[in-house]
């Protein structure tokens, strides 16, 4: 399940923007910045008005808690059922996928361009013993390779803003 899929090897000229995005997120600077500043699980804006988040001093733990609050809120809109299949577009470090797998018992396919983020996602997912529920795929969410209608739910936190 958490085995590497085929890396994105080549791009046609009309897909050069995907290569640029992949290069950016695979750079050491971007990878380390998002991992350290955003807490290493999620890379999205987060919700910070929650009382338990407000109680945390501003810093990486505060940002991480805001990301977790956003996940909780996201899944109140369409709560998945156990066994549902979810696609996480722009999954980054896989925090959303592991949350859905743990809380709801869902099967989640993480789809992200960054080979470096995906490798980290696979490691953390395997360490959490969730690789039977979470698959990490090296792909763009604009061209997933997945058949239409394959998923019960598609989630994306902020990533579509960058597409």
Name residue, tokens 């640029």: 20
Q: How confident is residue 116, by pLDDT bands cut at 50, 70 and 90?
A: very high
Q: Which residues pair with 86 in a beta bridge?
A: 108, 153
**pLDDT number for residue 13:** 60
Q: Look at the pTM and tell me if it is higher than 0.85.
A: no
Secondary structure percentages of the chain, helix, strand, coil, to 5 = 45, 15, 40
**Lowest-confidence range among 26-40, 57-71, 139-153?**
26-40
- How far is C-alpha 62 from the geometric centre of its chain's CA atoms? 19
């Amino acid at each position: 399940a958490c085995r590497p899929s085929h890396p994105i090897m080549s791009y046609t000229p009309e897909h050069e923007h995907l290569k640029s995005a992949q290069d950016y997120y695979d750079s050491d600077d971007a990878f380390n910045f998002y991992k350290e500043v955003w807490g290493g699980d999620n890379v999205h804006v987060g919700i910070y008005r929650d009382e338990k988040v407000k109680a945390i001093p501003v810093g990486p733990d505060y940002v991480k808690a805001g990301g977790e609050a956003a996940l909780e809120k996201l899944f109140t809109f369409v709560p998945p059922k156990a066994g549902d299949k979810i696609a996480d577009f722009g999954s980054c470090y896989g925090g959303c996928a592991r949350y859905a797998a743990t809380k709801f018992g869902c099967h989640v396919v993480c789809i992200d361009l960054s080979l470096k983020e995906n490798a980290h996602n696979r490691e953390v997912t395997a360490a959490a013993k969730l690789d039977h529920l979470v698959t990490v795929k090296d792909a763009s969410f604009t061209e997933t390779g997945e058949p239409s209608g394959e998923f019960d739910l598609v989630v994306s936190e902020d990533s579509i803003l960058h597409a």
